[in-house]
Amino acid sequence: MSTGRRPDPAPTPPGSAGGIPPSGAQYPITHGDQHATVVEVGGGIRAYEVGGRDVLQPYALDQMCDGAHGAPLVPWPNRLGDGRYRFDGEDHQVPLTEPEKGNAIHGFLRWQPWSCVTHEEGHVVMGTTLFPRPGYPFTLGVRVGYRLDDEGLSVTTSATNLGDRPAPYACGQHPYLAPADGLVDDCTLRLEASTRILTDPQRQLPTGREDVTGTAYDFREGRRLGDLAVDDAFTDLRRDERGRAWVSLESADGEVVGLWVDRAYPVVEIFTGDTLAPDRRRRGLGAEPMTGPPNAFQSGIGVARLDPGDTFRATWGVSLARRGDGGARRA
């Protein structure tokens, strides 16, 4: 279902009719028939459509972001068991933000207000500073840039160590690919990944890895999702000549939402949304670029060591095409 053709207006000032949207200020960008809306709270993307057709599943202007919907995940994606990790010989403990499973999840910035650094017709950059806090005594300057062009939407996340000591860092983002209508069950998922990261069912922390060959999780040639529940990270991604790895969700009408990740993202989490609220359940497919696997801060896998002044960048993008097309659908 479409989010509508007109970009969202700026939020109403406090005390006037309507109040401030839960996601804060809205920053619309456009290019041809493409429209996207980036938000102040969490610095994430609330909606992206092409020609009135949702490409990323939106959430409404009057709703809070749920399920990390569209949010950047900094300074780690996914879960951190017990909220504990060790870095440079020092033990750290962060708050448990998934207490029922004994985990910290998706970093610190999902509910923080971000500032708009640049806002042009087809480009917006959101920024924030992650100051030292209990469990993460490091300082990062974070920027997320969203750009629309003829290829679709591209998103670049950068983090710079502004402190005086090395810092551990990983990142991700949590968009949901939108089926043409209804549920993801009737869609075909294609993901050229040869390895699934196994997790325990109680805490969803890694227990090993498996070759997807011969399993229900082999999406390399495309597989209809049906009622399969997926909440797993995949790696060993096949890449094209530009170094991009792709996830595609093809609807029954032949429209294909394609998400790509650059080499900074060796892991993609796929989430069919079975644990979300009933009106959101299986109505979008989480396709989450991640620079490291679940529990990365404990394992050290995919964790960058940022020395003072170092910057880490990672880019992903998404577009809409018809079956057999090679690029984003144009106006």
- 158: nearest Cα among 121, 124, 118, 128: 128
Residue 164's pLDDT is what?
97
**Separation CA 38–CA 118 (nearest Å):** 12
Alpha carbon 100 to chain centroid, angstroms: 23
**What average pLDDT score do residues 174-199 get?**
95
Which tens digit of pLDDT belongs to each residue from 206-233? 999 999 999 999 999 999 999 999 999 9
Contacts of 4 (CB under 8 A, 6+ apart): none
Q: Which helix (H) or strand (E) holds 118?
A: strand 115-120
pLDDT level of residue 180 (50, 70, 90 thresholds):
confident
Residue 12's pLDDT is 38
Q: Where are the alpha helices (DSSP H) in 177-309?
A: 296-299
pTM of the model: 0.92
What whole-number distance in Å separates Cα of residue 172 and Cα of residue 134?
22
List, for residues 241-292, the tens digit of each pLDDT value.
999 999 999 998 899 999 999 999 999 999 998 988 888 889 999 999 999 9
- Beta-carbon contacts of 17 under 8 Å, excluding residues fewer than 6 positions away, are none
Q: pLDDT for 34-56, tens place per residue?
A: 999 999 999 999 999 999 999 99
324 pLDDT band (50/70/90 cuts)? low
Question: Which band of pLDDT confidence, cut at 50, 70 and 90, is reported for residue 10?
Answer: very low
Please, how many CA atoms are within 13 Å of residue 285, restricted to the half-sphere of its CB? 37
Using a pLDDT cut of 70, give the percent of the chain over it: 92
Identity of the residue numbered 62: D
Task: List pLDDT tens digits, range 80-115.
Answer: 999 999 999 999 999 999 999 999 999 999 999 999
pLDDT at 18: 65
Q: Is the pLDDT of residue 127 over 50?
A: yes
Q: Where are the domains of the chain?
A: 26-322
What is the structure's pLDDT at 174? Answer: 97
Please, what CATH class does the domain formed by 26-322 belong to?
mainly beta
